[in-house]
Amino acid sequence: MMQHVKSIRPFIGAENFGISRSFYKDLGFEEVILEPKLSLFKRQKTGFYLQDYYAKDWIDNTMVFMEVENTDDFWKELQTLNLTGKYERVKLTPVRTMDWGKECFVHDPSGILWHFGEFF
């Protein structure tokens, strides 16, 4: 196929749609409400769809990788947001360095695992 790809936007679910919407706004995403149970969250040219739908097996097996410019700086910003204080189920895991690059982790309020990292 010769078609130019412009973006990829995963759909993720939320156990509590309202709490997840607040969490992603706190994380720096802009919300665009598309329907009462579906929002687009975007940050610059990157985005994903958050839906008011929860299936435990699906959520427990969902991971999203978002490439950032500098993982160490991103981690410092994460720590200033007090996400674990505001959201009961949110977990943060510090930066780790591997052969391919660096990453840190965030579990959102529903349990979705986000990888934020950079490639060497």
pTM of the predicted model as reported, rounded to 2 decimal places: 0.94
- List pLDDT tens digits, range 71-117: 999 999 999 999 999 999 999 999 999 999 999 999 999 999 999 99
Please state, in angstroms and rounded to a whole number, the distance separating the CA atoms of residues 117 and 103.
4
- List pLDDT tens digits, range 30-64: 999 999 999 999 999 899 999 999 999 999 999 99
Q: Which domains does the chain have, with CATH numbers?
A: 11-119 (3.10.180.10)
Please state, in angstroms and rounded to a whole number, the distance separating the CA atoms of residues 87 and 3.
41
CB atoms within 10 A of CB 13: 20
